[in-house]
Amino acid sequence: MSKNIKLMQGNEACVEGALYAGMRFYAGYPITPSTEIAEKSAELLPTVGGKFIQMEDEIAGIAAAIGGALTGKKSMTATSGPGFSLKQENIGYAMIAEIPLVIVNVQRGGPSTGLPTAPAQGEIMQAKWGTHGDHPVIALSPSTVRETFDLTVRAFNLAEKYRTPVMLLTDEIVGHMREKIEIPEPGELEIYNRLEPVEGETYIPYGVREGDLVPRMAAFGSGHRYHVTGLFHDETGFPSNSTENAGFMLDRMMKKVEDNLDDLIEYEEYMLDDAEVCIFSYGSSARAAKTAIDQLREEGIKAGLFRAITIWPFAEKRVKALAEQFDNIVVAELNLGQYVYEVERVVKGAAKVSHVGKANGDVLTPAEIAAKVKEVL
Amino acid sequence: MGARDNQEIKIKKEWCKGCGICVTFCPKQVLGYDDEGKVAMLDSENCIKCGQCEMRCPDFAIFLGGKE
Amino acid sequence: MNNPIVEKYFRMDNLPHIWCPGCGNGIIMLALAKAIDSLGLDKDKVCVVSGIGCSSRAPGYLDFNTLHTTHGRALAFATGVKLANPELEVIVISGDGDASAIGGNHLIHAARRNIGITTIVFNNNIYGMTGGQYSPTTPNGDLGTTAPHGNIDRPFDIAQLAAAAGATYAARSTVYHANQMEKMIETAIAHKGFSMVEVISTCPTYYGRKNKKGSAANMIAFLKDSFIDVKVAEKLPEEKKAGKFLMGEFKKEEGVVEYTVAYESIIERLKK
């Protein structure tokens, strides 16, 4: 059988991955540099019986996507910087109402309208703290076109498995560059579907069995009439002002992430075993970091890479161990310092943490990363 | 026999908030208030069972129901 | 002992509701239940969506698939629900602020698309949940806690706004005219396309007290005396229309393709 090999953009691979995962609903608003995700979804969704809608604004885009998810459809929305800011309130809604949803943010230069066609990694902290209040967060960041495909599938799987919105943080580089990728055959990647109510059992919309963390989800129209709200609610789904209940419900939601770190956290390590310095990077910047490592090693400097694939939750345990192994950790990211604070928080002085980055719309080059490494050594 | 002969006005006092809407708009003025300020049927003889009290009660506290 | 309509369509454990004495919202909610009963809709196939505000608490009391969303966004959520599953009868309940201020953009675009959603606006001319601030329908000159010197804004006519934006059914009634309102809601739900029923409600607690409108009954009596049907108004001389407000069916346009039907036809076309 011939392999299904295609040359495509990261943004296109995102849609291919979404359809592979079973996406049947997309709602969004055009914004550079994510627009191809909407365009490709508009083209392909009706061919598989799915639905696409271009809404009147970014807020409506995520709102309609949540509505679609509630009818039992796997649902996605995509955006970039300003749109990600606008979507924050409803991201929180999806978290408290426990809606499986994939939110793609093809990061571009900010703040405000900023640099619409230039790459950035400026929403690392916004992904975690952008919506108000405490809440669980899952965010993934691909470095390649093929990984965009894979992580989109994974984002859907995690959203379905944990009944929570999952963010895919790509950027203008990964979104727009073209690479040859092999599309997996159907069945090659595992696909996870949300658990539905058990037939014959009384459905308690936000109730879980002892030891479980994720409530089963009934589709609107399936015969289980229930209530969904952004207010704190008890297991019946109806609003509750009880502080005891709010604490219990939030604790359960947080544990969906906290108790499943091994399932959620993915990273890649490149030439770390014999390295004398650790470069810490993710997304498109990690591509430059790999080249920097190759160049440094030609010069006799043994550098290695830790590449975060899961941005949130943070790979705390592994990074702590790296701090024991290395005197120096150089964080390379396309911003003026965001993820570096998380590294510092975890490392707690056990290693020297340095930062190399910028936010002027230029890419981070291997030479800049290599220069930083030489400076700290 | 009229269509509503087997019906009568029923009052669910615990839901009545005493807003007085039903009392004001009763075309036969058969409704009033009890000691707690809640709606009371004062003159069931003259009630025409038009249902206007039911349709304007914001609290579903008064309605036409089957005679028990 | 309960009203059988209430027993059939309400979540009895959640009643009585939170609304103030004399608040008109309950009148509209009962009319909605009666309209749904007259249409014989399957409760499992009805989805009621709301935003934030006093009126937006209504879905919590109604025994359907219910969705209480974020402020102003009910129609955007509802659009997703309806497009993803067109067999659902989707009804949006919104207040004047929710529908026409923070949610105004969603309102005109849902109307423009002619998507098969029925929107019922509980218009009490004020932000009640937050304590009486002026809304886009507070009459010019009236008082609100944020218009202590009189409201200088000019109000929206929500039903006409929806009609102008492309709604294929647009009507207005009041909580005094509850029978007519119920029939309008029934017509609106049966209508194929975007339908709007604006219901003038009463907020005796904030709007009424602030503007010295008297009791809830006084406020409803004002609605009785001030609103005339658009068809009656056509035949009245100008002097009889002075100071009156129009209600009734402003627009009823049949045969305009409904949005989800249009989308399904794309899916069918692509199968060939």
Most A CBs within 10 Å: which of C69, C87, C91, as the mutation test of the A interface? C69
Q: How does the average pLDDT of chain A come out, rounded?
A: 97
Angle between helices C104-113 and C74-84 (to 10 degrees): 30
Element (H, E) at A318: helix A316-325
Instruction: Name the minimum distance, in Å, from the CA of A90 to any CA of chain C.
Output: 7
Contact check, Cβ <8 Å, B23/C217: yes
With tokens 């039907």, the residue in question is C261
Contact check, Cβ <8 Å, C84/A75: yes
Q: How many alpha carbons fall within 13 Å on the CB side of residue A109?
A: 14
Angle between helices C74-84 and A58-70 (to 10 degrees): 50
H-only helix segments in chain C: 4-9, 25-39, 74-84, 96-97, 104-113, 158-165, 178-190, 209-210, 216-226, 230-235, 238-241, 259-271
B15 domain residue, yes or no: yes
Angle between helices C104-113 and A58-70 (to 10 degrees): 60
> Residues C128-135: what's their mean pLDDT?
96
Q: Is the Cβ of A60 closer than 8 Å to some Cβ of chain C?
A: yes
> Residues A141-153: what's their mean pLDDT?
98
C9 domain residue, yes or no: no
B67 domain residue, yes or no: no
DSSP per-residue string spanning C5-31: HHHHHB-GGGPSPSPPTT-THHHHHHH
Q: Is the Cβ of B27 closer than 8 Å to some Cβ of chain C?
A: no
Task: Give the span between the Cα atoms of C19 and A281, in whole angstroms.
Answer: 54
Which residues are CB-contacts of A267 (< 8 A; sequence separation ≥ 6)?
A306, A307, A308, A309, A310, A315, A318
> In the prediction, which pLDDT does A75 show?
98
> Residues A259-266: what's their mean pLDDT?
98
Q: Considering CB atoms only, which of B12, B18, B58 is closest to C24?
A: B58
Element (H, E) at A159: helix A145-162
C4 domain residue, yes or no: no
Most C CBs within 10 Å: which of B9, B21, B26, B31, as the mutation test of the C interface? B21
Among C240, C51, C188, residue whose Cα is nearest residue C127: C51
**Other CB atoms within 10 A of residue A212 CB:** 11
Residue C75 DSSP code: H
Q: Is the Cβ of B23 closer than 8 Å to some Cβ of chain C?
A: yes
**Other CB atoms within 10 A of residue B14 CB:** 9
Domain count across chain C: 1
SS3 B44: helix
Domain that holds residue B23: 11-62
Task: Give the span between the Cα atoms of A64 and A94, in whole angstroms.
Answer: 11
Task: Give the span between the Cα atoms of A77 and C161, in whole angstroms.
Answer: 29
Q: Is the peptide bond before C139 cis (omega within 30 degrees of 0)?
A: no
Domain that holds residue C133: 15-271
Domain count across chain B: 1
> Residues A337-347: what's their mean pLDDT?
98
Three state DSSP letters for A41-66:
HHHHHHHHCCEEEECCCHHHHHHHHH
pLDDT band at C272; cut points 50, 70, 90 = confident
**What are the tokens at C244?**
């009156």
CA angle B7, B11, B17 (to 5 degrees): 150
- The tens digit of pLDDT for each residue in C32-66 reads 999 999 999 999 999 999 999 999 999 999 999 99
pLDDT of A254 > 90? The answer is: yes
Beta carbons of A98 and A163 less than 8 angstroms apart: yes
Judge residue A116's burial from the number of C-beta atoms within 10 Å of its C-beta, 0-12 exposed, 13-18 middle, 19 or more buried: middle
> Residues C246-264: what's their mean pLDDT?
98
Contact check, Cβ <8 Å, B17/C22: yes
- The tens digit of pLDDT for each residue in C78-94 reads 999 999 999 999 999 99
> In the prediction, which pLDDT does A3 show?
83
Residue in chain B closest to C180 (alpha carbons) equals B55
pLDDT of C1 > 90? The answer is: no
Buried/exposed C96-127: b ≥16 CB within 10 Å, e otherwise:
bbbbbbbbbbbbbbbbbbbbbbbbbbbbbbbb
Query: What's the residue count for chain A?
Result: 377
Most B CBs within 10 Å: which of C27, C37, C173, as the mutation test of the B interface? C27
Q: Considering CB atoms only, which of B12, B21, B60 is closest to C216?
A: B21
Widest CA span of chain A, in angstroms?
68
For residue B39, what is the domain's CATH number? 3.30.70.20
pLDDT band at A1; cut points 50, 70, 90 = low
Q: Is the Cβ of A70 closer than 8 Å to some Cβ of chain C?
A: yes
Task: Give the span between the Cα atoms of A239 and C117, in whole angstroms.
Answer: 25
End-to-end CA distance of chain C: 57
The amino acid at A251 = D
Chains that touch B (3 or more CB pairs under 8 A): C
Buried/exposed C37-59: b ≥16 CB within 10 Å, e otherwise:
eeeebeeebbbbbbbbbbbbbbb
Beta carbons of B61 and B26 less than 8 angstroms apart: no
Assess whether the region A1-264 and the region A267-376 belong to the same CATH fold.
yes
> Residues A173-179: what's their mean pLDDT?
98
Residues of C in contact with B63 (CB under 8 A): 2-3, 6
C107 domain residue, yes or no: yes
Contact check, Cβ <8 Å, C17/B59: yes
Report the predicted TM-score, pTM, of the whole model to 2 decimal places.
Answer: 0.98
Say how far residue A176 (Cα) sits from the centre of its chain: 18
> In the prediction, which pLDDT does C216 show?
97
Judge residue A150's burial from the number of C-beta atoms within 10 Å of its C-beta, 0-12 exposed, 13-18 middle, 19 or more buried: buried
- The tens digit of pLDDT for each residue in B4-32 reads 778 999 999 999 999 999 999 999 999 99
Whole-angstrom CA distances from A329 to A319, A346, A355, C63, C196 are 10, 12, 9, 57, 60
**What are the tokens at A55?**
């809404």
Task: Give the span between the Cα atoms of C33 and C8, in whole angstroms.
Answer: 9
Is there an interface between A and B (3+ Cβ pairs < 8 A)?
no
Three state DSSP letters for C80-100:
HHHHHCCCCEEEEEEEHHHHH
Q: Which CATH class is domain A1-264?
A: alpha beta
Which residues are CB-contacts of A104 (< 8 A; sequence separation ≥ 6)?
A14, A34, A37, A76, A77, A78, A79, A152, A167, A168, A170
Contact check, Cβ <8 Å, A70/C81: yes
Judge residue B45's burial from the number of C-beta atoms within 10 Å of its C-beta, 0-12 exposed, 13-18 middle, 19 or more buried: exposed
**Other CB atoms within 10 A of residue A205 CB:** 22
- The tens digit of pLDDT for each residue in A283-304 reads 999 999 999 999 999 999 999 9
Residues of C in contact with B50 (CB under 8 A): none
> In the prediction, which pLDDT does B67 show?
81
> Residues A253-269: what's their mean pLDDT?
98
With tokens 């989805």, the residue in question is C47
B1 domain residue, yes or no: no
Q: Which CATH class is domain A267-376?
A: alpha beta
Contact check, Cβ <8 Å, A229/C68: yes
Beta carbons of C197 and C181 less than 8 angstroms apart: yes
pLDDT band at B35; cut points 50, 70, 90 = very high
What percent of chain A is helix, strand and coil (3-state, nearest 5)? 40, 20, 40
> In the prediction, which pLDDT does B2 show?
63
Task: Give the span between the Cα atoms of C36 and A355, in whole angstroms.
Answer: 62
Phi, psi of A207 (to 5 degrees): -95, 145
> In the prediction, which pLDDT does C147 show?
97
Say how far residue C99 (Cα) sits from the centre of its chain: 9
> Residues C155-169: what's their mean pLDDT?
98
Task: Give the span between the Cα atoms of C168 and C196, in whole angstroms.
Answer: 8
> In the prediction, which pLDDT does B3 show?
66
Whole-angstrom CA distances from A217 to A204, A241, C228 are 9, 23, 48
Task: Give the span between the Cα atoms of C220 and C37, in whole angstroms.
Answer: 26
Contact check, Cβ <8 Å, C19/B58: yes
B38 domain residue, yes or no: yes
Q: Is the Cβ of B58 closer than 8 Å to some Cβ of chain C?
A: yes
SS3 A170: strand
Q: Is the Cβ of B10 closer than 8 Å to some Cβ of chain C?
A: yes
> Residues A28-57: what's their mean pLDDT?
98
- The tens digit of pLDDT for each residue in C194-239 reads 999 999 999 999 999 999 999 999 999 999 999 999 999 999 999 9
For residue C207, what is the domain's CATH number? 3.40.50.970
Contacts by B1-6 with C-beta closer than 8 Å and gap 24+? B4/B49, B4/B64, B6/B66, B6/B67
- The tens digit of pLDDT for each residue in C98-131 reads 999 999 999 999 999 999 999 999 999 999 999 9
Contact check, Cβ <8 Å, B65/C4: yes
With tokens 């009643």, the residue in question is C15
